[in-house]
Amino acid sequence: MTTTVAPVKRISRKNIVSPIGFKAAGIHCGLKHKKHDLALLISEVPASVAGVFTTNAIQAAPLLVTKEAIQQAGKMQAVIINSGNANACTGQQGLKDAYAMQQATAEKLGIAPELVGVSSTGVIGEMMKMEPILKGIQKIQPSAELEGAINFSQAILTTDTVTKNTAYKTIIDGKEIIIAGTAKGSGMIAPNMATMLSYITTDANIESVHLQAALKAVTDVTFNSITVDGDTSTNDTVLVLANGLALNDALTPTHPDWALFVQALHAVSQDLAKMIAKDGEGATKLIEVEVQGAISDDEARKIAKSVVGSPLVKTAVFGCDANWGRIIAAVGYSGATLDPNAISIKIGTTTVVENGEPVYFSEEQLLVYLKQPEVKFTVALHQGSGQGVAWGCDLTYDYVQINATYRS
């Protein structure tokens, strides 16, 4: 085993098929009027798999089928995804439809059904139109080329305005390891997962149990640290497939390059999480909240999520209003331990609160800053060494318009 420390680098070919042995595709099957609405991701060989899912007690049928598949096989070789219908709150028929998608995909690829994951996204409470889906499964042809990856990333979108893709590489045991990811998510985004589907591929050699541990740790500080509107969906899924075709020695927490793998997985997950937050429905700005000096990292993240999730903070950002009172109020109701007389707050690099008291600042200067596409608030508590970050977006007129007419 090598002990040489290699950097983790973002790569230009940032798409889901960048790692060795993956293919993808996306087509229009008929659930939507014109846009791509059916996607397929496959690995040449059964891959180790890890997944994290919504914390909502109401869980969509495809999510249940996918969780069952992971428990049965401990591996995954393909994922079939549709947009345009969430297949959530659809009863026994919805469950049968999710199994039918799994079975049809397995038969097409000549693999066991339990090696196929299923995801759906779209309107809740509408029955699936299975005829176009099943015909689409027969038609779809995955490719290792860029076009297949682009079509895949388009086919999983709902109200998103852009596709979301990223990839990183590093060297483990002298082998180049690539981790790539594609996601969708724009509204119904809240901490502790979001209305998001995220698929991450890697050619690293790692067993499912260790991949799950790495994903869980990374998710807590990435996908679980974003919010758009405070709602948590029924279909939220993050899946990681690791097919081992890079032929490195099996990664475990005791492997000398374990930290490099986790760092690369973190980089992919954080990129996707921030892209989702930035593409919030109707959003014009990405908001980052950094909390320093909390009594623990968990407490710091709790405060950061509270601030970035505040509708009053979000609307103030949309209006370019340096209303720090809304920030400190969200800090106060976060439930975290704090001393009100020790709090300091910065908007960008400008201090607006010091030791719990207001500091003179230029409204005109902050107006210019708040017009930027990305804004940052820093909250210092001076209570300990805990640190945390959360991301979100502003709340706009367009958000109301999009969600007032989502079904019509």
Q: What is the pLDDT of residues 47-59, one digit of tens each?
A: 999 999 887 788 8
Residue 98: pLDDT band with limits 50, 70, 90: very high
State pLDDT tens for residues 32-89: 988 999 999 999 999 999 999 887 788 899 999 999 999 999 999 999 999 999 999 9
State pLDDT tens for residues 360-394: 999 999 999 999 999 999 999 999 999 999 988 88
Q: In whole numbers, what is the pLDDT of the chain averaged over residues?
A: 90
Strand partners, 48: 75, 242
Residue 266 has pLDDT above 90, yes or no: yes
* Of 277, 276, 281, 301, the residue nearest 291 (C-alpha): 301
Per-residue model confidence (pLDDT) at position 189 = 39
Which residues are catalytic, by number? 195
* pLDDT, average across residues 210-229: 85
State pLDDT tens for residues 110-147: 999 999 999 999 888 899 999 999 999 999 999 999 99
CATH topology of domain 9-278: L-amino peptidase D-ALA esterase/amidase (3.60.70)
| Amino acid of residue 250 | A
Per-residue model confidence (pLDDT) at position 195 = 58
Q: Which two tokens stand for residue 396?
A: 């706009």
Higher pLDDT, 401 or 345: 345
Residue 402: pLDDT band with limits 50, 70, 90: low
Domain boundaries, the chain: 9-278, 286-404
Per-residue model confidence (pLDDT) at position 220 = 85
Residue 281: pLDDT band with limits 50, 70, 90: low
Residue 4 has pLDDT above 60, yes or no: no
The predicted model scores a pTM of 0.84
* Of 239, 202, 268, the residue nearest 20 (C-alpha): 202
Please, what is the angle between helix 130-139 and helix 91-109, to 10°?
10
Phi first, then psi: what are they for 81, rounded to 5°? -135, 135
Q: Which two tokens stand for residue 67?
A: 């969780």
* pLDDT, average across residues 183-192: 57
Order of strands across the sheet that contains 286-294: 226-227, 386-393, 286-294, 374-380, 344-347, 350-354, 357-358
Per-residue model confidence (pLDDT) at position 3 = 44
Greatest Cα-to-Cα distance within the chain, rounded to the nearest angstrom: 69
Please give the CATH superfamily to which domain 286-404 belongs: ArgJ beta chain, C-terminal domain (3.10.20.340)
Cβ 214 vs Cβ 265: under 8 Å: yes
